[in-house]
Amino acid sequence: MALSRLAQEFAAEVAQHDWSDAPYRADRAGHQNADDRPGRTAPQLTPEQTDVVRENVMWVAAQVLGFSDPNFPLYEFAEACGVSTITRSGRKDGGIEAGIRKRSDGSYQHPGVRE
């Protein structure tokens, strides 16, 4: 299934942003540390910590997109965001689905509300 135009745009923004200093400074959209002036750099997360931040951002965007689109392809969106969707053993990572708040009928819960 193809991502909607909006989901493609969200994923592109999540994927291209440099999340490695996310807890230490507010960045403009599209931030890349390589573009910083000398002396502007902030502490850096490890690659593993950076991946966790990216995955959390993906889940937040996916919660809204999935609520808006009942046919939202979560795994395709996660991959487009640069989030790994395969376990080390080569299986589909169920943790991707577990990060989404869903109702008992499988539909996405309303954004911003814990049901």
Residues 62-115 have pLDDT tens digits of 999 999 998 999 999 999 999 999 999 999 999 999 999 999 999 999 999 888
Is residue 12 packed enough to be buried (19+ CB in 10 Å), middle (13-18) or exposed (0-12)? middle
Rounded to the nearest 10 degrees, the angle between the axes of helix 47-68 and helix 5-16 is 170
Share of the chain above pLDDT 70, in %: 94
The pLDDT assigned to 42 comes to: 78
Residues 1-45 have pLDDT tens digits of 689 999 999 999 899 888 888 888 777 666 677 777 777 677 889
The pLDDT assigned to 26 comes to: 77
DSSP 8-state code for residue 90: S
